[in-house]
């Protein structure tokens, strides 16, 4: 038997309605905050990710699905959405639009060759937003507020915001020098990756999964101690905006994020629910001033975040938040015999034409079996159409919840049901 590839999953109807609910909350929240959807290709030129995510990161070094196409181009299934969004911002000259920042969101599959475990997949769906073209700290607060709102509207309570500042280039250079001085004398005690990182990007050492318990990690110089005046002031403004929005946060100077394009603001939203797996990060994001230039555009500072729908659903499960399935059919039309079946098909069609969800039996089963189906499908109303009803051009309509039953002329069946459903809605 051929099974799904490791790290991927099928989302069957008993789960997909939850995805749809969450996706609707996301789209609605983006609309409320005035972020517009962007759809970019699933694969991009490999160079896009090496240049933006960074060639010393785990994502680029170990996790990309890279392949050569028939024209010998190196392409990569996107591991994240920021690089593609910024590429599109540059390619379509969105920096020329009068209203900056340009506020974009995306939702779609991303691919990373990671070790499979709870909450970590090789194909996962990321929802992310990017606000590009403004360095206003108020935008940072807006981006964080949107992420928190999505979780709140979905029903999560046990979440926390963790915040850090990575500073500007000057602050980072000062910190980098301090890191090199700290690690260099004993770098041979670290893994091969870290030895390379010392030269290329010492900050990445702090993110190493293999060496995280080495004693030099805990005593490493912290970036927040190296923030210059401007970076520190910027960080203070963000905190003030967050406080104004009543968003509480925890500071974590060790939050460095796993991608290279960040500076200034870095944040993650974690689940604090007991029973949530080992990976507690639900969303991550930050500022990336300089990335637009790196990809060939003019100076346009940006900030964004991304979250996977998979982890959001896991967090909802951990907090035992129920998502209601509103997809049950309104009507189930039971036909008893060949001639009634012809008429039943017409009734089903006219119900559907009026926007009423309707189902019927396609196995010519007996009344009892069809009634059971209607019950399983949680239909609100059952139509029964046998030879007798047909002879009098009428149909029996039964409301399953109350047991009320009425004989209604076939021609009036749709309007009768509409009326019933309207009064039901009005009293709910």
Q: Give me the residues that bind ligand HAM (CB under 6 A), please.
A: 80-82, 112, 114, 120-121, 124, 126, 128, 130, 258-259, 281-286, 304-308, 310-311
261 is in an annotated binding site: yes
Q: Which is nearer to ligand HAM, 301 or 304 (CB)?
A: 304
Q: Which is nearer to ligand HAM, 306 or 347 (CB)?
A: 306
105 is in an annotated binding site: no
177 is in an annotated binding site: no
**How many CB atoms are located within 10 Å of the residue 142 CB?**
22
Q: Which is nearer to ligand HAM, 81 or 301 (CB)?
A: 81
Q: Which is nearer to ligand HAM, 123 or 196 (CB)?
A: 123
81 is in an annotated binding site: yes
What's the CA gap between 410 and 342, in Å, rounded? 13
Question: In the block, which residue shows the tokens 């009425």?
Answer: 406
**How many CB atoms are located within 10 Å of the residue 254 CB?**
14
On whether the CB atoms of residues 380 and 399 are closer than 8 A, the answer is: yes
CB 9, min distance to ligand HAM, A? 11
Element at 130 (helix H, strand E): strand 123-132
- Between the CA of residue 258 and those of 55, 285, 405, what are the distances in Å? 11, 10, 63
268 is in an annotated binding site: no
21 is in an annotated binding site: no
CB 179, min distance to ligand HAM, A? 21
CB 82, min distance to ligand HAM, A? 4
Question: What is the C-alpha R_g of the chain?
Answer: 28
**Burial zone of 24 (CB within 10 Å; 0-12 exposed, 13-18 middle, 19+ buried):** exposed
- Which residues, other chains included, contact 91 with Cβ-Cβ below 8 Å and sequence gap of 6+? none
Q: Which residue is nearest to ligand HAM (CB)?
A: 304
What's the CA gap between 169 and 164, in Å, rounded? 15
**How many CB atoms are located within 10 Å of the residue 394 CB?**
18
130 is in an annotated binding site: yes
Q: Which is nearer to ligand HAM, 306 or 382 (CB)?
A: 306
CB 40, min distance to ligand HAM, A? 12
CB 107, min distance to ligand HAM, A? 12
CB 103, min distance to ligand HAM, A? 12
Q: Which is nearer to ligand HAM, 306 or 414 (CB)?
A: 306
What's the CA gap between 205 and 207, in Å, rounded? 5
What's the CA gap between 191 and 211, in Å, rounded? 7
Under DSSP, the state recorded for 410 is: G
CB 49, min distance to ligand HAM, A? 11
Query: Residue 308 half-sphere exposure, CB side, CA atoms within 13 Å?
Result: 21
Q: Which is nearer to ligand HAM, 183 or 288 (CB)?
A: 288
257 is in an annotated binding site: yes
Known binding residues are 80-82, 112, 126, 130, 257, 261-262
Known binding residues for L-histidine are 80-82, 112, 126, 130, 257, 261-262
């Amino acid at each position: 038997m051929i099974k799904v590839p490791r790290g991927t999953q099928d989302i069957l109807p008993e789960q997909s309605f939850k995805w749809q609910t969450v996706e609707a909350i996301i789209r609605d929240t983006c609309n409320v905050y005035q972020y517009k959807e962007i759809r970019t290709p699933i694969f991009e030129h490999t160079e896009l990710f090496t240049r933006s995510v960074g060639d010393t990161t785990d994502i680029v070094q170990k996790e990309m699905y890279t392949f050569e196409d028939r024209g010998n181009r190196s392409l990569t299934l996107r591991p994240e959405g920021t690089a593609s969004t910024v590429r599109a911002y540059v390619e379509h000259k969105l920096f020329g639009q009068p209203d900056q920042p340009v506020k974009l969101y995306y939702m779609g599959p991303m691919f990373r060759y990671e070790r499979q475990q709870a909450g970590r997949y090789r194909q996962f769906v990321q929802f992310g937003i990017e606000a590009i073209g403004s360095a206003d700290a108020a935008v940072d607060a807006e981006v964080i507020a949107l992420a928190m709102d999505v979780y709140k509207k979905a029903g999560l309570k046990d979440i926390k915001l963790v915040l850090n500042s990575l500073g500007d280039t000057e602050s980072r250079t000062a910190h980098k020098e301090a890191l090199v001085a700290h690690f260099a004398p004993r770098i041979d005690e670290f893994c091969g990756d870290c030895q390379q990182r010392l030269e290329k990007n010492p900050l990445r050492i702090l993110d190493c999964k293999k060496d995280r318990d080495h004693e030099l990690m805990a005593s490493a110089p912290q970036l927040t101690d190296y923030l210059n005046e401007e970076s520190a002031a910027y960080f203070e403004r963000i905190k003030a905006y967050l406080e104004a929005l009543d968003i509480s946060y925890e500071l974590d100077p060790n939050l460095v994020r796993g991608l290279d394009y960040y500076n200034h603001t870095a944040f993650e939203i974690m689940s604090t629910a007991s029973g949530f797996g080992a990976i507690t990060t639900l969303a991550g994001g930050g500022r990336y001033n300089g990335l637009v230039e790196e990809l060939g555009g003019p100076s346009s500072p940006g900030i964004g975040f991304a979250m996977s729908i998979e982890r959001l659903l896991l967090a909802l499960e951990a907090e035992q938040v129920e998502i209601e399935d509103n997809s049950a059919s309104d009507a189930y039309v039971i036909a008893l015999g060949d001639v009634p079946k012809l008429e039943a098909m017409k009734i089903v069609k006219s119900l559907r034409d009026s926007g009423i969800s309707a189902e019927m039996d396609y196995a010519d089963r007996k009344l009892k079996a069809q009634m059971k189906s209607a019950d399983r499908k949680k239909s609100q109303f059952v139509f029964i159409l046998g030879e007798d009803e047909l002879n009098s051009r009428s149909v029996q309509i039964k409301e399953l919840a109350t047991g009320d039953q009425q004989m209604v002329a076939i021609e009036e069946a749709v309007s009768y049901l509409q009326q019933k459903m309207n009064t039901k809605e009005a009293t709910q």
